[in-house]
Structure 1
Amino acid sequence: MSPVLGQEEKPKLDLGGALRFNYNLSSWKEGQKDRGGDFGYDMFRINVKGSYADLYVDAEYRFYSDAFGGSFLKQAWMGYRFDEKREVQIGLSQVPFGIQQYNSHNWFFNLTYYMGLEDDHDMGVKYVHKGEHFEYDLAFYKNAEEQIFGNTSEASPSRYSYDIVGRNKEVNQFNGKLIYKTGEQFQQRIGASAQYGGIYNLDTRRTGHHSGIALHYEFFVNDWNLKLQGMTIDHDPENAERESNEIIQMGAYGAPYSVASDFNIYTLAVSKSIPVSLGPISNLEFYNDFGYMDKKVTSFEDSFMNVTGVLITAGQIYTYVDYAAGYNQSWLGGNFVDDFAEGNPDAKWEARFNINIGYYF
């Protein structure tokens, strides 16, 4: 598998992955309600982790149905560890912005995910420092996942994490994040994040900009976890005439939609883990994750999302049982195309009961 190496330095390779199936019953789908819901394939993924001395690689490739964008990379980077506290990553890495790895506990994530602000991955280089009381990340991202290298090619919406698509592209983004850690039995993580980057328009060939600031807080005590976060986000594209600058296009899973260019977003997520001994079931994690999108254009209708559920752990099988409710939430009823933009003043809350069963290896 490799050249002859010294006895103390041998390459390591670990393979893993997951297979998931999904059941859902949605309040806005009359035919589905007549059938009692639908149960089918969700996703298959392959994970590869390898290392040699201080060099390492981490990659994940996912296979969805064609209706959800087909197959694509979630993440893939090469890294170098200077020591146990410092490393650098290059490739498709997680953008250091806000609470990580997830700002949620449920299968749907929180509202931040749908604006590219939770578990986002872009192409660039990132420096990571993890000290006893402070963590900080500094990163430069040349662009989002680039799959088509044409001169005026639009970014494909077939991707895992949400990015700007359509006639605009994300370019030359800078990120910084600082976390202060304190406590042992009552662990707290207090942090701030900032990002600034360009938005290149394929029609005007001019570059606008986008920016974001986030304040975030987490605590862990007696199997309780709290995630509290506030963000302010602004996009200023250089669109063609007659194209509104108050809306941008974002996409993932093969399906683009409109998002308000400027907004504040507030999230609150809480969970409680309970160890149990119920046959193969060893743990139950109950949670409630809430998100509120406050759009800065006063004529736009705000968006809300709340997910209540439980994660059931049974060996290597993890099952999310969720009740997800949304108001002007594109993935939860209403108008998929512009719920996160103009929204609908006559919208009503819609809900989806969802069970996701996954075997992780």
Structure 2
Amino acid sequence: MRSHSSSISGILLVIFLLLSFLIPGNYAYAQEKPQINVGGALRFNYNLSSWKDGQKERGGDFGYDMFRINFDAAWKDIYLNAEYRLYSEAFGGGFLKQGWVGYRFNDRDEIQIGLNQVPFGLQQYNSHNWFFNLTYYFGLEDDHDMGIKYLHVGETFEYDLAFYKNAEELRFGGDTETSPNRYSYDVVGRNKEVNQVNGKVVYKFGDSIKNRLGISAQYGGLYNLDTKETGSHNGLALHYELDFSNWNFKLQAMNINNDPKNLPGESDEILQMGAYGVPYEVASDFNIYSLAFSKSIPVKLGPISNLEFYNDFGYMDKKVESFEDSFMNVTGVLISAGHVYTYVDYAAGYNHSWLGGNFVDDFSNGNPDAKWEARFNINIGYYF
């Protein structure tokens, strides 16, 4: 995968886009007048962390989390979906979470072009809590990249095919590193994600017990800004989800491999990944396993209509034997009261950058002397 392959892929992408919009669709959903819907959310957060002595003495901290605005627009079978988020400056400030233009061929087939969700693993989420599961911190849950995706939703099978030119690009210099100011984790530093292909198939079965059994695969390049060579990355995921009588179970296993073409003397066993304005190190090759379940209980407690109790667990098995593995477990409840949704979580982590570690290398080398740390968190959001 050299420079000429990138040019060819760009030409193929343009041709595919043109053909896609020239194919006549089924206009069962067509409307003559454009429709626009605007929504959003405002969230606040309280947290108390076991590894922050000053915070413990204060009894925790309560502050601003995020404000977002959502746009949905449609004209005939062409539609728009976009979400912009504004975090504090320390967490990257403002950035586009997702944004694409779509086209519906019929009631089962559509295409999305732009910053859309990568079809890999359980979706929309591999978790129930505010922190997500461990998969999120490596760009493997609710990830969004720049490309084109075809979706088919049938009664028995669903499948997605996608091509991503790169992660969301905010800097367009020839040798400019990818910015870490983003919602979902991507490779940053001296390597850049390029020309990624994704495929996903889900088999659905059962009536009173609904089952979704699927497999996902992805393969792409890692362009190194120093060597001007393109390495590779690939992933394979097996996933299963069950819904039964207000219970939800999610089970997933992933195999992830990265082969960057770094300068001589630089380790290829570690990558830099970034989001929310800050990069950190991640092991290049690992397996990751997760198990999540929840139980929803309808209630009538003033404005509260539902309580969803859950536990989400993740385990990162790093392939380099000298690296220390990482763990994460979140136990909590989601409280629904009209437009207000409140997550009450107890999140625990071992060699986890966001849960008590030294942040920089917990997901790569790790620390054999690390101990489990925890954060009690309450996130309150009004969604409109």
1:87 aligns with 2:110: yes
The CA distance in 2 between the partners of 1:8 and 1:76, in whole Å, is: 22
Q: List structure 1 segments (4+ residues) > 4 angstroms apart after TM superposition.
A: none
Question: RMSD of the TM alignment (CA)?
Answer: 0.7
1:254 aligns with 2:271: no
1:278 aligns with 2:301: yes
Do the aligned residues in 1 keep the contact of 2:31 with 2:75 (CA within 8 Å)?
Answer: no
The CA distance in 2 between the partners of 1:255 and 1:348, in whole Å, is: 23
The CA distance in 1 between the partners of 2:31 and 2:168, in whole Å, is: 37
Which residue pairs with 1:309 in the alignment? 332
| Secondary structure class of the residue paired with 1:114 | helix
What does residue range 68-217 of structure 1 map to in structure 2 within 5 Å?
Answer: 68-217=91-240
The CA distance in 2 between the partners of 1:23 and 1:11, in whole Å, is: 41
Which residue pairs with 1:323 in the alignment? 346
| Secondary structure class of the residue paired with 2:57 | helix
1:307-341 alpha-carbon deviations (Å, 9 max, x no partner) = 00000000000000000000000000121000000
Which residue pairs with 2:287 in the alignment? 264
Which residue pairs with 2:17 in the alignment? none
1:126-166 alpha-carbon deviations (Å, 9 max, x no partner) = 00000000000000000000001001000000000000000
More helix by share: 2
The CA distance in 1 between the partners of 2:36 and 2:294, in whole Å, is: 34
The CA distance in 2 between the partners of 1:333 and 1:351, in whole Å, is: 7
Work out the percentage of aligned pairs sharing the same amino acid: 75
Report the TM-score when normalising by structure 1.
0.98
User: Please, which moves more after superposition, 234-243 or 259-268?
Assistant: 234-243
Which residue pairs with 2:72 in the alignment? 49
Which residue pairs with 1:58 in the alignment? 81
The Cα shift of 1:241 comes to 1.7
Do the aligned residues in 1 keep the contact of 2:129 with 2:343 (CA within 8 Å)?
Answer: yes
The Cα shift of 1:8 comes to 5.0
1:287 aligns with 2:310: yes
The CA distance in 1 between the partners of 2:221 and 2:212, in whole Å, is: 30
1:100-131 alpha-carbon deviations (Å, 9 max, x no partner) = 00000000000000000000000000000000
Unaligned runs of 5+ in 2: 1-29
Q: Structure 1: which amino acid aligns with 2:226?
A: D
Aligned residues: 355
